[in-house]
Amino acid sequence: MPAKTVTVVDSLEDLEDRVRAGHHTFAILLAGGLAYSRKTIRRGRGRRWIVKNHIDDTTQTLTSEQLWTESNIGIALERRALVQLEGGRTIAGSVEA
């Protein structure tokens, strides 16, 4: 099974740039990268973020502030655990900084 290439998202501004460039598939690494929670992140109207949580098939519409207070994306950014996913079906492989 081919592995995904993962790249660490460094900041909210970095996430914004990646989404603006057309990247929408991200994951939060859990347990030191042994597991992950996949998310589809897009920009909505009025500068809101639309986050689809694949683990429970829920969708959240959040402001940038709410990414820190009502989701785990802010903590993942702080811990360098939010990554952009590219290709493949599994997340196995190296993480690019």
Cα(97)–Cα(20) distance, rounded to whole angstroms?
20
Cα(85)–Cα(25) distance, rounded to whole angstroms?
6
pTM value is 0.80
Cα(10)–Cα(95) distance, rounded to whole angstroms?
13
Cα(73)–Cα(50) distance, rounded to whole angstroms?
12
Our count of domains for the chain comes to 1
Q: Is residue 97 part of a domain?
A: no
Q: Is residue 19 part of a domain?
A: yes
Q: Is residue 87 part of a domain?
A: no
**What is the rounded average pLDDT of the residues 12-29?**
92
- pLDDT at 94 > cutoff 60: no
- Domain of residue 21, residue span: 5-82
- Residue-wise pLDDT for 24-83, tens only, equals 999 999 877 767 888 999 998 888 999 999 989 999 999 999 999 999 999 999 999 999
Q: Is residue 77 part of a domain?
A: yes
